Structure 1
C-alpha cells in the first residue's frame, strides 16, 4: 500500500508538472487612445481604440493560462478601466475592473496592470467599466479555448460573432440629455444602427457538409437581438462559459452581455448563400426613427459566385419570432439544484423620478450611488468592521454575505422594460422566470399589472438548473436565481443596459470580507492610479478612515418627491417655475428697453431724424388697419 501511495503521488506530481508546463503567460500591451471609425458607413466619429486600431483586438487564451494586460490610458480626457466579463477572478478581486467598486478609475496618463489566471473555459468579452465608456467602442470578445470541451472534436473551425448597437454621438454628449429634467420618462437614447462584428454585410466562408462552432456575443449598450440562420438549425453547446447538453434550436434571443456557442452543420450545396439574420427587439425602443434599420443580413457564404440574398423578414414580425428558452438548458456537468438558501435577497426594479426631475432606476428604494472610496478598499482598510454593512454606505445598496452561504435572489420587475442582470464573480443557477422567453415574454404588459414572485405558488424548480452569469428579467415579471458565496470579494449585481446602470440599477455583494482581508493585497500601481485620479483608497464610503461608522459626507441619492406630488406634477412645477422666471425676465428686459427708447428719443438731446418721426406716427392696429 505504501508503494502504491508513492507511485500514485509520483503520477499526480508528474501530471501537475505537465499541466503547469502547458499553461503559459499571455501578455497584451494596450495603449488606449481615440481613433476615427465609420463602422456603419453612415458617419465617421471618434471611438476608443487600442494601439491605434479599431475594432479592438480579440483576447485569446487557453484554459489555465496567465493573462496579463498592461493598460495605458492615452485618451487624454477620459478615465477608464477594463472588466473581463464573466471571469470569476477567484483570489484576484482587484482585477475585476468596475471603477469605485474594486478599483479607482484610471486617469489619463496612468498605467494599470491586470494579471490573473484563467481557470475557466468558453466565450466571454471585455469592456470598459467606468461611467458610460464602453458604448464608444471600448468592448471586444475574450475567448478561452479548451481542448477538453465536450464538443472539441465535433467541429472543423470556429468563428466569433459580436453584435451591438451603435451611436453616432459620443456617450459623454448623449448622457446629459438622458439623465435630464427634459427626459422625465427615462427614455433610453435610440441607436443609429446595429453592427455585426463591428461592421455590416459580413460573409462567413463555409464548406458544405461541415460543422462549425459559432461564438455569439451581444456587446451592445442597450438593445437585445434575435438571431437565426435561414434554412438552418443549430445545437447550443455553451451559454456564458457553461457547457450545456447539446440542444437543438433555430432562433435565439441574445440580450446585452449574453453569450452562446452553437454548432452549425452546413448543407450539401454550393448553389446559394444563406442569410444570417439579426433583428433588434423593437419593444425596447420608445421611438423608432424612419431611417433606423432594425434587421440586418449577413451570410453563411457557401460560394463567392452565388447570390447574397437579403433576409425575408418584416420589422413587425420581430415579436412573432419564437426564440429558444434558455432556462431549459441543462449544464453538461449535471450540477444539481442548490439546497435551500442561507440568505434570501428580495428586490424589486422600479423606475421613478426624484426631486431634480430626473428619472432614476431603483432596486427597492435605493438607486446605486458610487462611494467616495472603492468598496474593495473599504473592506481592506476597515479591520474588524468589514462585516458591518453600514460602513459601505446606504446608497451602494450593500449586502454582506458569509463564506459559502447559499444565496437566493428574487428579482421582481415593476417596470415595463426588459433588464438583463449580470452578477460579477459568479455564474448562478436559474430557477424560475415568468413570463418565459418566447411568444408570451411580453404578455404581462397586456394586463397592465406587474406579476411578482409568490414563494407559495411557483413552478417546480428544475433538478439540474441552467447556469449563466447574465439573465433577462421580463417586463412586469420576475426571476429567481441561486449561487454559492464561495468567492470572497466585492461583486457588482447590475442591469447590463448601460443607460440603466448609469441611472442606478445595481447593488453590491460584499462576500466573505474577513477571508478577503486575509487573502488579498493590492498592487502598488493600483494605488498610484488612485493618487493620480485624486481618489482616496482608505476609509468608509464617505472616505472617513478615523471613524468607519461616521458616514457624514457620503455620496447620497437625490431626495424623493414629497408625498402628494406625482412625478408628472413635480416636472410640471419645475417647468412652470422656469417659465415664470423667463417670463418675468422677458417683461423686465422689455420694460427697460421701452424706457431706454423713450429716453433716447424724447430727451433733451434727442436726434431730429426722419426715423424718429416715423416711429411716432405708428398707429395702433384696428379692425380697419390690422394686417
Structure 2
C-alpha cells in the first residue's frame, strides 16, 4: 500500500519566514465530528472519527500570538466528545482545556461548542509541536487526533533548515474503543493486560514516502498520537539533531535513534546526503516490552522511505542489533532556565495497579483510582466561594491537590508497577530533576546520590517513568486553572491513573468567566454546573452522593489470588459443563440401549444381537458467566 507524502507540509524557509512576520491573526477552524470509514494499515476497514467527513484529520496551524477559534460540532450520532489541545497552557482560559467533567461538560450528539484561545500569553509564550485530540471516554484512538503546529518568528533555529516536514506515529486497533474498553475493564481480565494494537502507523498510513533533495537540511516535527505504544525512530544512513521536545527548544543534541512515548513530541534537524544514488528506509518501531503478549500478525514496525531518486528501488529496512535510544534526560533547554528552588509543596504519588471488589483491574495513585465528579471540577472551583481552597469540595475520587499562587510544586512519582508510564501534566511544563533507572525503587530524599539534581534540568510536559523506578518533577504554580496529571497510556487513564491539580481557585473566581455555550451543553444534559463534586450547593463539605469507586477487595486478596480465583471459577464452570455433557450423553445412550433391548424382546428371538446405535449426546450449550 505505497502512498505519497500526504499528511505533512513542506514549506520553503523563505516563505515560512515571510508568513511569520505578519501581525497576529485570528485563525478559525470549523470542525464537524462524524464517522467515516478507513483502512490505514491495509488489513481491515473500520469506522473512524473524522472531521468534516474526512480522515486523517487536518493538521492545525497557527503563529505565536494568533487567536485560535474552533467551532466544534458533534454529529457522531452515538457518542459524546470533547477536544483537548495537548501541551497548550491555556493561560487565562482553563475552561478551553477540554477534559470531560474536568474543565467542561462533554459535547452531546447534535451539540456544539466554541474553543477560543490565544497562542501567546505574557507569562506563557508557546510555540513548536503540539497536537489535539478528544479527552473523553478513551475516544481518541478511534481517530480523533492530529498534530497542531505553532510557529515562532523568533525560533532559534530558523536559519538552520530549508524545509519542514510534519510526521506522526501511532499504534492502530481494528476494534473500536467502545468494544475494547469493556473487554479490558472486565473481571475476566484481573491482571489488567492491555489490548495490543494490530499495527504501527506513520502519518496514519504505512509505506510512506518522503521526497527529499540532496544537500538540504529538513526540520522534522514528530508526535506520537498513539494510545499505548512508545515508538523507537531511526533513519538509516542519517543522524538526527534534536532541537525541541514538547514545545521546549533545546540546545542541539545529536542522536541516531530516539524514543517517543504516547503524547510526546520531538523536533529535529536532518541533513540529506549530497548524492542521489540511493533511497533510505526510516523506521518507527513499537515498544513491544509494553505488551503482555505478541499476537500473530502484529505489525510492530512501520517502514517509510526518504526518496532521493524515485526511479530507484525502495530498500528493505535493515535489522538493528539493539534498540538504544537517545537519553532525553540529558537535553538542555535553549533558554537554560535554572533549577527551581526548594519546593513549597511536595506531592508524592505511588503508581499501583490492583483490583477492587468488582474484580476488575484498576490503576491508582496511592490508594485512589480516579472517578469523574458529578460537577466538572473547574465549575466546582468557580462556585464554592472560600471553600474552593479546601480540597474536600472536589471529592475524594478526583484525587485533588490545591496549589497556591507561585508555589514551587514538587511531584514525586514512585512506580510500584513493572511497566513504563508516560506521565503528562496539563497547563505547565515541568523540570525533570530525577528519573531513575529501572528497578531503582521509590525515591529517597535522604539519599545524597538521588538528590544530585541538574543545575539546568530538562523541561517538557510528558516524561516516561521506568518500571519500578521513580521520577521527581518541579514546576511553578503560575497558571490559575484546573489541570490534570495522568498517565497518557489510554488504557491506564481508563483505569483511573489520574490526579487533579486545582491551582489558585480564588484567583480563578476573580479572573475566569465560563462562556455561556459551555454552560449550555451541561444544561442540555442535566449536568449540574455549581456546587461540590456531589452537586451539593448548600453544604460544600457534604460529599454524600458523590461518584465513587467500587469497594475494596475483601482482606487477604491479592492480584495473584484474584487471577487464581478467576481461573478456578472458569475451570469449575467448564468442569460442570463437561460433567453435564457426559451425563446427558450417557443418559441418551442408556435410553437408546433400553429401547433396543425392548424391541429385541418383542420379536421373541432369544439371545438377539444388540446393534450399537452410536446415539449422540444432547446439544448442550455452555454460556460464560459475566
Under TM normalisation by the shorter chain, which class is it?
0.7 to 0.9
Q: Secondary structure of 2:313's partner?
A: coil
1:279 to 259, 282, 285: 285
Query: Whole-Å Cα distance in 1 between the matches of residues 466 and 574 of structure 2?
Result: 43
2:622 maps to which residue? none
The 1:575–1:208 alpha-carbon spacing in structure 2 relative to 1, beyond 3 Å, is closer
1:197 maps to which residue? 203
Query: Whole-Å Cα distance in 1 between the matches of residues 369 and 165 of structure 2?
Result: 39
1:391 to 386, 390, 393: 393
2:475 maps to which residue? 483
Matched, 1:418 2:424: no
2:533 and 2:543 in contact (8 A); partners too: yes
Query: Whole-Å Cα distance in 1 between the matches of residues 418 and 195 of structure 2?
Result: 16
Residues 38-79 of structure 1: CA deviation (Å, up to 9, x unaligned): 101111100000000000000000010000000000001001
The alpha-carbon deviation at position 266 of structure 1 amounts to 0.6
The alpha-carbon deviation at position 138 of structure 1 amounts to 0.5
1:60 maps to which residue? 61
2:316 to 307, 310, 328: 310
The alpha-carbon deviation at position 354 of structure 1 amounts to 1.1
Residues 119-138 of structure 1: CA deviation (Å, up to 9, x unaligned): 11000000000011100000
Q: Secondary structure of 2:109's partner?
A: coil
1:439 maps to which residue? none
Query: Whole-Å Cα distance in 2 between the matches of residues 452 and 417 of structure 1?
Result: 15
2:86 and 2:131 in contact (8 A); partners too: yes
2:108 maps to which residue? 107
1:421 and 1:493 in contact (8 A); partners too: yes
2:367 maps to which residue? 365
The alpha-carbon deviation at position 533 of structure 1 amounts to 2.4
Aligned residues: 579
Matched, 1:508 2:493: no
1:16 maps to which residue? none
Query: Whole-Å Cα distance in 2 between the matches of residues 57 and 124 of structure 1?
Result: 13
Residues 393-423 of structure 1: CA deviation (Å, up to 9, x unaligned): 0111100010110000110101001000000
1:296 to 295, 302, 307: 302
Query: Whole-Å Cα distance in 2 between the matches of residues 582 and 340 of structure 1?
Result: 60
1:225 to 231, 256, 266: 231
1:462 maps to which residue? 454
Query: Whole-Å Cα distance in 1 between the matches of residues 518 and 387 of structure 2?
Result: 23
* Superposition map of 1:126-525 within 5 A: 126-313=132-319, 317=321, 320-435=322-437, 443-444=438-439, 451-457=441-447, 458-525=450-517
The 1:589–1:166 alpha-carbon spacing in structure 2 relative to 1, beyond 3 Å, is closer
1:90 maps to which residue? 91
The alpha-carbon deviation at position 483 of structure 1 amounts to 0.1
1:560 to 542, 552, 559: 552
Residues 474-496 of structure 1: CA deviation (Å, up to 9, x unaligned): 00101111000000000000000
1:606 maps to which residue? none
The alpha-carbon deviation at position 313 of structure 1 amounts to 1.7
Query: Whole-Å Cα distance in 2 between the matches of residues 581 and 244 of structure 1?
Result: 59
The alpha-carbon deviation at position 567 of structure 1 amounts to 2.8
The 1:308–1:350 alpha-carbon spacing in structure 2 relative to 1, beyond 3 Å, is same
The 1:589–1:61 alpha-carbon spacing in structure 2 relative to 1, beyond 3 Å, is same
Q: Secondary structure of 1:43's partner?
A: coil
1:29 maps to which residue? 30
Query: Whole-Å Cα distance in 1 between the matches of residues 600 and 333 of structure 2?
Result: 87
Query: Whole-Å Cα distance in 1 between the matches of residues 230 and 167 of structure 2?
Result: 15
Query: Whole-Å Cα distance in 2 between the matches of residues 618 and 210 of structure 1?
Result: 97
TM-score, normalised to structure 1, is: 0.88
Q: Secondary structure of 2:456's partner?
A: coil
2:6 maps to which residue? none
The 1:471–1:617 alpha-carbon spacing in structure 2 relative to 1, beyond 3 Å, is farther
1:357 and 1:567 in contact (8 A); partners too: no
The 1:395–1:547 alpha-carbon spacing in structure 2 relative to 1, beyond 3 Å, is same
Query: Whole-Å Cα distance in 2 between the matches of residues 30 and 583 of structure 1?
Result: 55
Residues 444-483 of structure 1: CA deviation (Å, up to 9, x unaligned): 3xxxxx6111112215211111110000000010111100
Residues 208-261 of structure 1: CA deviation (Å, up to 9, x unaligned): 110010001000000000011011112111100001111111110110000011
Query: Whole-Å Cα distance in 1 between the matches of residues 172 and 242 of structure 2?
Result: 27
Query: Whole-Å Cα distance in 1 between the matches of residues 185 and 394 of structure 2?
Result: 25
1:181 and 1:571 in contact (8 A); partners too: no
2:199 and 2:301 in contact (8 A); partners too: no
The alpha-carbon deviation at position 34 of structure 1 amounts to 0.2
The alpha-carbon deviation at position 576 of structure 1 amounts to 5.5
Residues 310-369 of structure 1: CA deviation (Å, up to 9, x unaligned): 11126xx5xx22211111111111111000000011111010111111111111111111
Matched, 1:50 2:51: yes
TM-score, normalised to structure 2, is: 0.88
2:541 to 549, 567, 590: 549
Query: Whole-Å Cα distance in 2 between the matches of residues 496 and 380 of structure 1?
Result: 27
The alpha-carbon deviation at position 580 of structure 1 amounts to 6.7
Query: Whole-Å Cα distance in 1 between the matches of residues 454 and 103 of structure 2?
Result: 34
1:382 and 1:548 in contact (8 A); partners too: yes
The 1:307–1:375 alpha-carbon spacing in structure 2 relative to 1, beyond 3 Å, is same
1:561 and 1:567 in contact (8 A); partners too: no
Query: Whole-Å Cα distance in 2 between the matches of residues 312 and 41 of structure 1?
Result: 23
Q: Secondary structure of 1:553's partner?
A: coil
Q: Secondary structure of 2:82's partner?
A: coil
The alpha-carbon deviation at position 556 of structure 1 amounts to 1.0
The 1:582–1:512 alpha-carbon spacing in structure 2 relative to 1, beyond 3 Å, is same
In structure 1, the gaps of 5 or more residues are 1-18, 436-442, 445-449, 602-609
Query: Whole-Å Cα distance in 1 between the matches of residues 176 and 267 of structure 2?
Result: 31
Query: Whole-Å Cα distance in 2 between the matches of residues 364 and 412 of structure 1?
Result: 10
Query: Whole-Å Cα distance in 2 between the matches of residues 616 and 526 of structure 1?
Result: 81
The alpha-carbon deviation at position 615 of structure 1 amounts to 8.9
The 1:616–1:89 alpha-carbon spacing in structure 2 relative to 1, beyond 3 Å, is farther
